[in-house]
Amino acid sequence: MNFIHGSDFHLGYVQYGLHERFVDFATTFKAFITYGLENNVDFILIAGDLFEKRNINAPTYLQAYKVLSQLQDECKSLGRAPIPVIVIEGNHDLAYQRDRNSWLQILESQGMLRLLKSTENNSLKLDYVDVGDCRVFGVGYLGAATMQSIPLIAGDIQKINQDVDRFTVLTMHFGMEEQARSVVAGEIPYSALLPLRECVDYLALGHYHNQYEYDHWVYNGGSLELFSLNEYGLKKGFYHVTDSGAELVTLPTRPFKRLSGNISSVKTPSELSLLVQSIVESETPVDSKLSPIVELTLWGNLNFPKKDVSLPELREMVRKRFGCLYADVHIKQTNDYYTIHESDIIGMSREQIEAKILREQIIQDGRYKVYAKQVVSDTVEAKKLALQRINEKEIIRWLKQSFDQIQLHKKHAQEENNAGVLPFMRGDVT
């Protein structure tokens, strides 16, 4: 067994209106395909969103066609059979109803890929392909129907695989609950995937742009390129799957850099310029052949009219320091104590962000400051139990038990403190 699993390439995305970024996304896709060729994989799996838009333009189509046709040409020159490229439709790939056919279907008609299309006439019909020792099932983006479709998919796989001994791969396009930094509509809880656990060896996901894996059978590599600076610091890559397991692979891409500074103590526009100059000069230049993209976020209380700020001047400072392909400066005014600044959550998951906020609130409140770690842990665990549809009475009982333990510990601590106090006040006569 030897295959690679990637997703969310978003070919055709012209990030910041820059042609260079349009090329970057195609270059990364080509590097992914080349990796598969160089590692002699049995097949290449793309779990949705090959394209950025449903109505792609001709240059975007040519990007995909050239990379996939070059793969076939290379296989031919090496005297080996073509490497199958197996794809499902993500939400960005779906055809408009008036068009009927998606661009992935066009590529399939030209022999460039194998599209697993399991949704027909509003009913679910599983499509699959056998490659070597693997059987690969695929279901395109189902949106709101995903949750209710999972038991049906599991039942169909079991029927189709009856008396067949193959490593079973299922590829789908949806986001798992708790894996994105913010709550997203239509997330699927892990408990809903359990019917698939009995019949699927490897669940290959796409949709969320960050890497995650769950219980050694659910895998999502994320988008290889940074689609938005909101994704800055998140792990990304694709999986190379062999008999030894699934290994995350990352590719070199154009570097991004995110800076921040507090402007609450700045009194004048000239002081702001000095602050920005200080921030950029304190950062080391980016070591890359590709010019970086840099964003500077200035947050806090702005003490003078925003119209007096020369953002072009500040951007130029950033551009000169780092030799940027693109530089931007944002001012976000806030005095909210509980505001979490983006610079504070780089690389953090949603669970880690929630834990950070909870801990700060508990410490600020003061009553359970000493027990902040336990309170945060218990609160996060209670949320997990709720998401698993555990009976609310059981969750309340578990939380009460934890609270009682804290109260008992506080009581014992108070008794120990009191034990060291004399039973009379200074100056009392016994």
Q: What is the pLDDT of residues 278-295, one digit of tens each?
A: 999 999 999 999 999 999
What pLDDT is attached to residue 373? 78
What pLDDT is attached to residue 427? 47
What pLDDT is attached to residue 366? 66
Percent of the chain with pLDDT over 70: 85
Q: Classify residue 68 by burial, with Cβ atoms within 10 Å: 0-12, 13-18, 19+.
A: buried
How confident is residue 394, by pLDDT bands cut at 50, 70 and 90? confident
What average pLDDT score do residues 401-425 get?
68
What pLDDT is attached to residue 379? 81
What pLDDT is attached to residue 382? 76
What average pLDDT score do residues 379-386 get?
72
Higher local confidence (pLDDT), 369 or 319:
319
Return the bridge partners of 214, or none.
Answer: 218
What pLDDT is attached to residue 419? 64
What average pLDDT score do residues 83-102 get?
88
In terms of Cα–Cα distance, which of 33, 49, 417, 407 is closest to 227?
49
What average pLDDT score do residues 301-320 get?
94
What average pLDDT score do residues 290-303 get?
94
How far apart are the C-alpha atoms of 333 and 302, rounded to whole Å?
A: 6
Percent of the chain with pLDDT over 90: 69
Report CA dihedral (205, 31, 294, 221) to the nearest 10 degrees: 20
Is the pLDDT score of 338 beyond 50?
A: no
How confident is residue 354, by pLDDT bands cut at 50, 70 and 90? low
- Please say whether the dihedral angle defined by the alpha carbons of residues 276, 281, 284 and 287, taken in this order, is positive or negative: positive
Structure tokens at 141: 């983006």
Task: Express each pLDDT in 157-169 by its tens digit.
Answer: 999 999 888 999 9
Residues 6 or more apart from 61 whose CB is under 8 A from it?
103, 106
How confident is residue 372, by pLDDT bands cut at 50, 70 and 90? confident
What average pLDDT score do residues 21-41 get?
98
What pLDDT is attached to residue 388? 58
Structure tokens at 111: 């022999």
How far apart are the C-alpha atoms of 404 and 312, rounded to whole Å?
A: 58
Structure tokens at 231: 């994704």
CA distances from 125 to 136, 154, 157 (A): 14, 12, 11
How far apart are the C-alpha atoms of 377 and 361, rounded to whole Å?
A: 14
What pLDDT is attached to residue 346? 57
Is the pLDDT score of 430 beyond 50?
A: no
Return the bridge partners of 170, or none.
Answer: 137, 203
Is the pLDDT score of 50 beyond 70?
A: yes
Is the pLDDT score of 127 beyond 90?
A: yes
Most confident of 111-125, 201-215, 320-334, 341-355: 201-215
Structure tokens at 306: 């925003």
Cα angle: 183, vertex 187, 189; to 5 degrees? 110
Is the pLDDT score of 116 beyond 50?
A: yes
What pLDDT is attached to residue 421? 54
What pLDDT is attached to residue 207? 96
Task: Write the secondary structure of the chain as one string of H (helix), E (strand) and C (coil).
Answer: CEEEEECCCCECCCHHHCHHHHHHHHHHHHHHHHHHHHCCCCEEEECCCCECCCCCCHHHHHHHHHHHHHHHHHHHHCCCCCCCEEECCCCCCCCCCCCCCCHHHHHHHCCCCEECCCEECCEECCEEEEECCEEEEECCCCHHHHHHHHHHHHHHHHHHCCCCCCEEEEEEECCECCCCCCCCCCCECHHHHHHHHCCCCEEEEECCCCCEEECCCEEECCCCCCCCHHHCCCCCCEEEEECCEEEEECCCCCCEEEEEEECCCCCCHHHHHHHHHHHHHCCCCCCCCCCCEEEEEEEECCCCCHHHCCHHHHHHHHHHHHCCCEEEEEEEECCCCCCCCHHHCCCCCHHHHHHHHHHHHHHHHCCCHHHHHHHHHHHHHHHHHHHCCCCHHHHHHHHHHHHHHHHHHHHHHHHHHHHCCCCCCCCCCC
Cα atoms in the Cβ-side hemisphere of radius 13 Å centred on 357:
17
Cα angle: 173, vertex 131, 84; to 5 degrees? 70
Question: 226-235, 272-281, 336-345, 377-386: which range is least confident on average?
Answer: 336-345
Average per-residue pLDDT for the chain: 88
> In one letter, which amino acid is 237?
G
What pLDDT is attached to residue 340? 54
Q: Classify residue 5 by burial, with Cβ atoms within 10 Å: 0-12, 13-18, 19+.
A: buried
What average pLDDT score do residues 352-359 get?
70
Higher local confidence (pLDDT), 379 or 210:
210
